[in-house]
Each structure stands twice: as C-alpha cells, then as structure tokens.
C-alpha cells in the first residue's frame, strides 16, 4: 500500500477553494435563477399594469418571490443544516399568505 501523496502548502493553496462558492457551477446557476425571477416578475408586472393591485395580485407576487428566493438559497450550496430553517421560514410565510384569504372568506360565508 502506497502512502498518500503529499504536497506543499503553496501547492495546496492553489487547489483549495475559497469558501464554498464555486464560480463554475453555483455562480452561473444563481445568475440563471435571478434572470428567470426578473423575467417572471416583469411578465407579472406587464400583465397587471392596467388593473389595480388587489390582494390576489399581491399574493401572486409574494409567492413568486418566495419560490425564487428558495431556489436562490438552495443553489448557493449551503449545507442541509443551513438550508432547512430558511426553507421552513419560506414555507411558513407562503402558508400564511395563501391560507389567510381562505380563512377570511369562510368566516364571511358563515355569518348571516
């Protein structure tokens, strides 16, 4: 059995990554996600530019922002322990935004 190959500290420094952000994959993916987010928000703005901003329209904007925010967090190559709480927070916000209107509509129908 051969001993593991050794290298000098200066050689190791050339092969080491700075942080956990690799420019080849994650940086490109992050810019692609940001581009799609801007296109999605721009198309929503274009579709709703002549109508007043109702609660339903704002809800769609928030959901789109949460979806792309979640994709950005996942694509930034954090560990599972770091991503978990952020995804939980995004899920809580989305559940609150989407569930709030359903509960309000049900309460109005029950009252005479």
Q: What's the whole-number mean pLDDT along residues 60-74?
A: 87
Q: Is residue 3 part of a domain?
A: no
d(CA 59, CA 80): 28
Q: What's the whole-number mean pLDDT along residues 39-67?
A: 87
pTM: predicted TM-score of the whole model, two decimal places: 0.62
Q: Is residue 1 part of a domain?
A: no
Q: What is the pLDDT of residue 11?
A: 74
Q: List CB contacts of 59: < 8 A, sequence separation 6 or more.
A: 97, 98, 101
Q: What is the mean pLDDT of the chain?
A: 77
Environment class of 59 (CB within 10 Å of its CB; exposed 0-12, middle 13-18, buried 19+)? middle
Q: Is residue 2 part of a domain?
A: no
d(CA 6, CA 16): 14
Q: Is residue 12 part of a domain?
A: no
Which domain, by its residues, includes 82? 21-105
Q: Is residue 34 part of a domain?
A: yes
Q: Is residue 4 part of a domain?
A: no
Q: What is the pLDDT of residue 70?
A: 86
Report residue 2's pLDDT band, with 50, 70 and 90 as the boundaries: low
Q: What is the pLDDT of residue 23?
A: 58
């Amino acid at each position: 059995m051969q001993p593991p190959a050794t290298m000098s500290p200066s050689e190791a420094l050339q092969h080491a990554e700075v942080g956990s952000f690799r420019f080849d994959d994650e940086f490109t993916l992050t810019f692609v996600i940001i581009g799609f987010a801007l296109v999605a928000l721009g198309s929503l703005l274009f579709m709703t530019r002549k109508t007043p901003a109702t609660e339903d329209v704002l809800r769609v904007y928030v959901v789109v922002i949460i979806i792309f925010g979640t994709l950005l967090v996942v694509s930034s190559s954090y560990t599972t322990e770091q991503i978990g709480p952020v995804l939980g927070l995004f899920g809580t916000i989305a559940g609150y935004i989407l569930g709030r209107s359903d509960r309000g509509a049900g309460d109005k129908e029950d009252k005479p």
